[in-house]
Amino acid sequence: MSSEHCLCSDAAFAEAVRQYALSAEVGAIACGFAAVAEVSAAADEHYRRWVESGCNATMTYLEKYADVRRNPQLLLDGARTIISCAFSYARREHHPHIADYALGRDYHDVVRQRLERLASYLREVGGGTTRVCVDTAPLRERYWAVQSGVGYIGRNNYLIVPGRGASCVLGEVLWTGAMPADRPCTLQCSGCDACVRACPTGALRPDGTVDARSCLSYLTIEHRGDLPDGTLLGTHICGCDECRRACRECDDAEPTAIAEFEPEPRLMALDREALEHLSEEDYREIFRGNSLRRCKLDGIHRNARHATDHNVKE
């Protein structure tokens, strides 16, 4: 089919796209469709206030491209549909010092490769043009996941997929074709505040946002230089899972079926002392293709020196 032709798809085509996204070839645990439009004024204002309050810390990239964050059509001329997909990284096996999402291959690469298959399917069967987005594009991922019915945002700010929990990463395909939109997810967080109580540093604010300046995920991965005075890392060297694991929606999450997200054995073997004295050669070898390359070796050494064998709240 000509790439310039956009099929105004019917319900049967939409369901075929969804089933392909949920198949083993793509591997999503949830898939939904939303019509491209500007984000709501309330959501835009909420994000603007968060940035103005300084809660993005040194992540200044979150301040840029406000117009694109507001209107995803600026990411792909003529975009009419956002296809939102969630991919699970849930597992039974954990590392005492490293966040679950970072134990396998870099999810940016894994999800992009899988969504490129979905985008190719769309172009071949439905025509039009596509653009795959995985985290790095200025797209309001959780907002669109809610709009497309994939899940709802928890008090811990994770996207929670009903029946599958919050151990997932998101990715999107923008498409110039028209897809029947799913109903937005109307479920809400139960408000049990288990995640708030579990947060080691009180980074979850009363307005439902996260203050990155005190979040251990930010401090151990994104923050450069010395840690702020008084920072207690506890066991956390690369990321923090406390607020996610505390969510009761994650209790019975089925382990991921994505092989690339399986833990790297050499990474799992690293204890705190090994991380503190990790050589440049071992770092390059063990962390090749891992999202924690963003942490940098200096950051891993710094964090391991400040970490302990006990959680902050023990």
The torsion angles phi and psi of 255, rounded to 5 degrees, stand at -60, 150
The torsion angles phi and psi of 4, rounded to 5 degrees, stand at -90, -10
| Contact criterion met (CB below 8 Å) for 105 and 111 | no
Taking the CA of residue 250 as centre, how many other CA atoms within 13 Å lie in the half-sphere pointing to its CB? 24
- Burial code of 263-286, b = ≥16 C-beta within 10 A, e = fewer? bbeebeebebeebbebeeeebeeb
Q: Which residue has the tokens 């945002």?
A: 153
Q: Looking at 135, 229, 271, 298, which residue is catalytic?
A: 135
Give the whole-angstrom CA distance, residue 306 versus residue 310: 12
Q: Is 109 a catalytic residue?
A: no
Give the whole-angstrom CA distance, residue 207 versus residue 16: 39
Give the whole-angstrom CA distance, residue 39 versus residue 180: 18
Residues known to be catalytic: 135
